[in-house]
Amino acid sequence: MKPMLDRRHCLIAGLLVAGTALPVSRVFAQAVEKASAFVQQTGDKLVGIVNGAQSAVDKRRALTQILEVAVDVDGIARFCLGRFWRQATPDQQKRYLAAFHEVLVTNISSKLGEYKGVKMTVQHARPQDDEAIVTTVVERPNNPPTNVDWVIEQPAAAPRIIDVIAEGTSLRLTQRQDYASYLTRNNNNVDALIEAMKQQTAQSG
């Protein structure tokens, strides 16, 4: 098991009254601009942590703070558990969310050393349904550049990251498939998944 880590909205079609067309397009443009700035700011903070000279403990602490603010971790966690979220008891949901937060931070922290010298450049952004997609290029020494799309919810109001798509692969969708596969092999036992997540965090710590 690999622990971690709807598109809604119809395109506005038809002719609109001249007085309403401009405000709508301006709202979209402002949302996209805000999403781009948000990703750039968040990326700069992450790059600063990766390339910084802090201790591993301090880097993990700083990374946790950024993730809690910039990423909808609970929303991603619920998405990754899929239909099993509704089947879980309130207690299981609580323990699963706590385990997911730890898994996310631990997995990213354990890979920070591999990204020393990393650079991230925002290329462009576009609206998609109620979200915004911000395309970036991530460069690190001795590796080819990687195209990474950041899916941002509520881009016009309170932007938060809900998915990262690396070279066309959705990380949250991959995680959801991994969890579903694990649960299928373990009699749909959510407690077993939570325990496996805790064990993985302990092994990586």
Interhelix angle 171-185/190-204, rounded to 10 degrees, is 120
> Mean pLDDT of all residues in the chain?
85
Half-sphere CA count of 183, side-chain side, radius 13 A: 21
Report the candidate in 123, 128, 140, 143 with the shortest Cα–Cα distance to residue 39. Answer: 123
**pTM of the shown model:** 0.82
Was domain 18-204 assigned CATH 3.10.450.710? Answer: yes
Report the candidate in 71, 89, 96 with the shortest Cα–Cα distance to residue 154. Answer: 71
pLDDT > 80? residue 4: no
Greatest Cα-to-Cα distance within the chain, rounded to the nearest angstrom: 61
User: Domain ranges in the chain?
Assistant: 18-204
| Size of the chain in residues | 205
pLDDT reported for residue 17:
33
Read off the pLDDT of residues 109-138 as tens digits, 9 standing for 90 and up.
888 878 889 999 999 999 888 899 999 999
